[in-house]
Amino acid sequence: MLPLIEVKGLRFTYPDGTPALNGVDFTLYPGETVFLLGPNGSGKTTFVLHLNGLLRGEGLVRVCGLDLRDPRNLPTVRAKVGVLFQDPDDQLFMPTVLEDVAFGPLNFGYPRELAFQKAREALARVGMSHAADRAPYHLSAGEKRRVALAGVLATNPEVLVLDEPTTFLDPPSQRDLLCLLRELHQAKVIVSHDLTLGRALATRALFFSGGKIVAQGSFDEIIHRFGWATVPSQPNGG
């Protein structure tokens, strides 16, 4: 089975000199749901932003056989890897919810009618059809999260990268998200400290520390090894 994502020797330092990644190796195969765990500032979010070229460091990042060191591959890779950011306000900027969700398909060249059809279908999947004509800034934080996820799903990417997807969601919405993620066929990379979500979805887990992956194994193995099994589930950045 060929990997969807290959990362070798990835290093990244922010412009102010802050080191973030220090030699990360990673492989993602079809059907996997990989959870990234680790303390704040350990490099998790910085790492996932490399998976569709939002950040560019030193080392190899290859997506579906396409090397991100070649800038000509960037548009195709961004169609294959959909990213849900920590803050949904980073993804919502159009006048209406429907236009926001349709933006991705339009940007990737879908005909207008098909783009808006895909947007409506994605909104229905996340339970936000009723908000299609509303302005995104009128939504609650949890509603914005679901609309941002619809924007990712509308383009049907091969890989989903979700950074703290349960942030701002109330318990019923968290359950709905869990059920939705179970149904989705895409491979997933999820940054989250939500133990319930991890136990339900993860096929394996990685632990970040100091910009490196220092351990990997089953989700339960990793949270017990690092003493997280008794930590209350809560959103956390990284």
Is 66 in a helix, a strand, or coil?
strand
Whether 233 maps to a domain, the answer reads no
Task: Note the pLDDT of residue 89.
Answer: 85
Whether 218 maps to a domain, the answer reads yes
* Mean predicted lDDT score pLDDT of the chain: 92
Q: Is residue 53 pLDDT above 70, yes or no?
A: yes
- Torsion over CA of 24, 30, 32 and 34, rounded to 10 degrees? 20
Per the structure, the count of domains in the chain is 1
Whether 198 maps to a domain, the answer reads yes
The residue range of the domain holding 27 is 5-225
Provide the 10 A C-beta neighbour count for residue 79.
Answer: 18
Copy the structure tokens of residue 107.
Answer: 């940007």
CATH number, domain containing residue 76: 3.40.50.300
Task: Note the pLDDT of residue 141.
Answer: 86
The burial of 168, by beta-carbon neighbours within 10 Å (0-12 exposed, 13-18 middle, 19 or more buried), is given as: middle
Q: How confident is the model at residue 48 (pLDDT cuts 50, 70, 90)?
A: very high
* 150/128 Cα distance (integer angstroms): 9
Provide the 10 A C-beta neighbour count for residue 4.
Answer: 23
106 neighbors 115 (Cβ within 8 angstroms) = yes
* 225/215 Cα distance (integer angstroms): 9
Q: pLDDT tens, 175-222?
A: 888 999 999 999 999 999 899 999 999 999 999 999 999 999 999 999
Indicate yes or no: pTM above 0.75.
Answer: yes
Task: Note the pLDDT of residue 231.
Answer: 54
Copy the structure tokens of residue 91.
Answer: 């993804």
Average pLDDT on 117-123 reads 96
157 neighbors 107 (Cβ within 8 angstroms) = no
| Paired strand residues for 12 | 21
Q: pLDDT tens, 71-99?
A: 999 999 999 999 999 888 888 889 999 99
Whether 200 maps to a domain, the answer reads yes
Task: Note the pLDDT of residue 169.
Answer: 84
Whether 191 maps to a domain, the answer reads yes
The burial of 134, by beta-carbon neighbours within 10 Å (0-12 exposed, 13-18 middle, 19 or more buried), is given as: middle
* 185/183 Cα distance (integer angstroms): 6
Whether 129 maps to a domain, the answer reads yes
Whether 236 maps to a domain, the answer reads no
Count of all residues that appear for the chain in the document: 238
Whether 230 maps to a domain, the answer reads no
Q: Which residue has the tokens 């990244």?
A: 12
33 neighbors 202 (Cβ within 8 angstroms) = yes
